[in-house]
Structure 1
Amino acid sequence: MKFQELGARLQSCWAVVLFVLVFSPVSNSSAQTSQTYRIVHTYPHDQQAFTQGLFYADGHLYESTGKEGRSSLREEDLETGRILRMQLVSDKYFAEGLTDWKNTLVQLTWQSHIAFVYDRSTFRLLRTFSYNGEGWGLTHDAKSLILSDGTATLRFFDPETFHETRRITVEDNGKPVKELNELEYIHGEIYANIWHADRIARISPATGRVVGWIDLKGLMPRSQLTDDEAVLNGIAYDGGHDRLFVTGKLWPKIFEITLVPAKAKFVPVKHTQ
């Protein structure tokens, strides 16, 4: 083969390789997704509720509200916002995250290092357990309670013994994501509010890596809020009907939203009360 022909073939091969590298779509399982929202419905919410924990089960919302002297555990009707049942928490505690486990409810406290375990059907206190650090948000997967404490760390606990089994550090492109707040476990991911931020992180429970962000900017107009601490905090998911609900501390509304790609054109949906 002549040198000129060999050189031409090599040049052609490199051209093909370069085209593939530059123009071909790359499959990258580590790529993040960026999403925003469309409002499906709005529902009334007690604007005096300092929402610290929220989840949906069997047709009702369960909510933990904070502040010393105002903390409570509640069962609520989603459609009307009516409080169906309420258990006040002792004035010395600042209640925080809330989740269910089997037939019980587990409620954290902020700086008291104690959690309350209630019978879900009666709200009767069954027992307490202690943990180190602060308590912020709480959710669970199939075998563990998952706790946030205001840092970039999420801790996993055995729901029966309440012993810590493992922990992960939440990172976005290698940088710790701090002030993780209210949590919800959805489709194999941990959704986390970021305190004082209008966005939710979607977190891999295996690695702690942020796999996506949900931008909720503009969801609740500031003109309808009366407190600087009335920030986004509260995620609930209805797995039976694939409905996602979000709210905030001292917000007058709960929003049912659907997630859309961040670059999707926004189409307003009529709010319903």
Structure 2
Amino acid sequence: MQLYKYFILICLSTVLINCGDDNSKKTGFAINTQAKSFALGDTLNLSINNPKKLNVTNVRYQLDGKSITKDAVLNNITLGEKTISATITYGDGSETVTKAIKIYNNKIPGIYDYEVLNTYPHDISSYTQGLEFYNGELYESTGQYKESKLRKVNYETGEVLKNVDLDDAYFGEGLTILNDKIYQLTWKGNRGFVYDVNSFEKLSTFNYGKSKEGWGICNDGTTLYKSDGTEKIWFLSPDNLTEENYIEVYTEKGKIPQLNELEWVDGKIFANIYQRNGVVLVNPKTGGVEGVIDFKPLKQLVTQHDELDVLNGIAYHPERGTIFVTGKNWDKLFEVKIRKR
């Protein structure tokens, strides 16, 4: 008898729980939009599907947690996957429903050409992951387990001026330098390192937050920007190195995944696309791709060998107004000038 009563209680509980869930769905409320995807600058035309003809007294819309109107214009917003929510007040109740949309860029990326100005020697054994100039000096981070390094290099001769080997457990990735501190990422170690730029003394370590991997990193003089191998570029405060927010990199057609090495150049983020031998110019406010550079022909100008890998390594020289690029196990470093076609 006790077992029978217990069975009845379970059944009743299940019915009550299901009824509660069903009540929240019986309204049939849903958000209507004119499309599932939009371009930057488009106007939303939001309405509520109310199949039960309930007495709706108020509707509050939000886009990724920020209040919007039903006819909001998609300006001053980042691109990518977004969630529209509507909190609907009706009778003596309320309900919140959501709808996923995507926002694309509203312009076709410009095509950029380049001219090779100079060619310099580069260590063919360096699996280049990060490259950056700081106070006229070139710094490089290299990868591969048991081979990863942090280096200061004479870019004209290829001579290694300073070197630190990473622990064998870490696969080195991108680097950037801000306020005399070098920030170096590792790949799957979920950890980054901070060094003194002059002594290469390790000052601290930091863990990644919401991203799973470390790929590329750059800075604008205030904020650090970090890629993780997806279409996302994370914003990090140099004070606490937490991943505070992110942009998603999109063209007018879709997202650009596998973003790797990053470089800040005159207000834009230059992002290398892994295995594509190309670079996209990204608007850091929206994530929109504003230009593309095809560096694929450079790979044919280096010594061809079994360990030769893809383009990786972008360093902007502000005084010269040029960009230096190389690749994984390339024996040459190219100084180029880019121009829009």
Q: TM-score, normalised by structure 1?
A: 0.83
Deviation at 1:222, TM superposition (A): 7.0
Work out the CA distance in 1 between the residues paired with 2:154 and 2:245: 35
Q: Is the 8 A contact 1:225 1:250 kept in 2?
A: no
Work out the CA distance in 1 between the residues paired with 2:198 and 2:137: 12
Q: Is the partner of 1:218 in helix, strand or coil?
A: helix
CA radius of gyration, larger in: 2
Please list, as runs of the form range in 1=range in 2, the aligned pairs for 1:122-201 lying within 5 A after superposition.
122-132=199-209, 133-201=212-280
Q: Is the 8 A contact 1:245 1:255 kept in 2?
A: yes
Deviation at 1:261, TM superposition (A): 3.6
Work out the CA distance in 2 between the residues paired with 1:143 and 1:165: 14
Matched residue, 1:202:
281
Deviation at 1:92, TM superposition (A): 0.5
- Pairing 1:83–2:160 present: yes
Which blocks of at least 5 consecutive residues in structure 1 are unaligned? Answer: 1-28, 263-273
- Pairing 1:46–2:123 present: yes
Higher RCO structure, 1 or 2 (CA under 8 Å, sep 6+): 1
The alignment-based identity, stated in percent, is: 41
Tell which deviates more after alignment, 140-149 or 182-191. 140-149
Work out the CA distance in 2 between the residues paired with 1:194 and 1:227: 22
Q: Is the 8 A contact 2:307 2:329 kept in 1?
A: no
Matched residue, 1:119:
196
Please list, as runs of the form range in 1=range in 2, the aligned pairs for 1:1-273 lying within 5 A after superposition.
30-132=107-209, 133-221=212-300, 224-227=303-306, 230-262=309-341
Q: Is the partner of 1:154 in helix, strand or coil?
A: strand
Matched residue, 1:267:
none
Deviation at 1:32, TM superposition (A): 2.5
Work out the CA distance in 2 between the residues paired with 1:219 and 1:46: 16
Work out the CA distance in 1 between the residues paired with 2:253 and 2:116: 32
Work out the CA distance in 2 between the residues paired with 1:130 and 1:98: 15
Work out the CA distance in 2 between the residues paired with 1:211 and 1:138: 19
* Count of aligned positions: 234
Pairwise CA RMSD: 1.4
Work out the CA distance in 2 between the residues paired with 1:120 and 1:228: 30
Work out the CA distance in 2 between the residues paired with 1:197 and 1:119: 33
Which blocks of at least 5 consecutive residues in structure 2 are unaligned? Answer: 1-105
Deviation at 1:229, TM superposition (A): 5.6
Describe the superposition over 1:123-149 as per-residue Cα deviations: whole angstroms up to 9, x where unpaired.
Answer: 000000000410000101132110001
Deviation at 1:177, TM superposition (A): 0.2
Describe the superposition over 1:55-91 as per-residue Cα deviations: whole angstroms up to 9, x where unpaired.
Answer: 0122221000000100000000011000000000000
Q: TM-score, normalised by structure 2?
A: 0.66
